[in-house]
């Protein structure tokens, strides 16, 4: 039998990855991180196979042609992200539930693929201004790239209604508790009961 699927999506800087890492540390949830494939450059603190499967654009396109992706997106020109089918098999073969940390359109796609087997959660920043402040504090992007992310965030926030649940990450401690509660309820819910 397959496990369940939990999908977290958010605009960049909303705190989604922090929430995902918190959930992965709760052993009784039996969540395992689905490592996405991407074509962006690896950051200093990232490892291939742990954070992402880093690929060239040609490698990524070749895997698209071979139908090896469950879903994929060209997020920006020649900037691809996707979920390899082999990741889903690997996690379910380990007897765990899948935890996805994906962009907003990927989150909508995964919910459509897995249906009732998936809980999709949108992490909403308190405001665009706060999101910009967080991205600037992170110090990983140029002002030009931050502007690009802010513009995209306005578009992405329109997708919130397509998700099962929304967490407004105004206070991280509250957001973590809220995420923990909703994921635990979903994973322990009897599939035969509404």
Q: Token digits for 193?
A: 């009961």
User: Does residue 118 have a pLDDT over 60?
Assistant: yes
What's residue 191's pLDDT? Answer: 59
What's residue 52's pLDDT? Answer: 93
pLDDT in tens, 153-169: 888 999 999 999 999 99
What's residue 193's pLDDT? Answer: 53
Instruction: Strand 5-9: give its sheet, edge to edge.
Output: 31-33, 97-102, 5-9, 118-124, 165-168
pLDDT in tens, 138-157: 888 888 988 888 988 888 99
Q: Is the distance from CB of 31 to CB of 52 less than 8 angstroms?
A: no
Q: How is the chain split into domains, by residue range?
A: 5-188
Q: Is the distance from CB of 63 to CB of 84 less than 8 angstroms?
A: yes
Q: Superfamily for 5-188?
A: P-loop containing nucleotide triphosphate hydrolases (3.40.50.300)
User: Does residue 1 have a pLDDT over 80?
Assistant: no
What's residue 131's pLDDT? Answer: 85
Of the listed ranges 57-71, 83-97, 143-157, the least confidently predicted one is 143-157
The sign of the CA dihedral 133, 139, 141, 144 is positive
């Amino acid at each position: 039998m397959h496990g369940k699927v939990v999908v977290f999506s958010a605009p960049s800087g909303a705190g989604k990855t922090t929430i995902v890492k918190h959930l992965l540390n709760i052993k009784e949830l039996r969540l395992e991180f689905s490592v996405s494939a991407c074509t962006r450059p690896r950051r200093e603190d990232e490892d291939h196979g742990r954070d992402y499967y880093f690929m060239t654009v040609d490698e990524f396109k070749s895997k698209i042609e071979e139908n090896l992706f469950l879903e994929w997106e060209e997020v920006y020109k020649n900037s691809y992200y996707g979920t390899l089918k082999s990741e889903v098999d690997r996690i379910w073969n380990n007897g765990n539930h899948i935890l996805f940390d994906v962009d907003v359109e990927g989150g909508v796609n995964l919910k459509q693929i897995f249906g009732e087997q998936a809980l999709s959660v949108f992490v909403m920043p308190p405001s665009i201004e706060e999101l910009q402040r967080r991205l600037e504090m992170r110090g990983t992007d140029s002002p030009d790239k931050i502007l690009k992310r802010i513009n995209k965030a306005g578009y992405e926030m329109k997708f919130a209604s397509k998700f099962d649940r929304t967490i407004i990450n105004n206070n991280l401690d509250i957001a973590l508790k809220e995420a923990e509660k909703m994921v635990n309820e979903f994973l322990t819910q009897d599939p035969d009961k509404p």
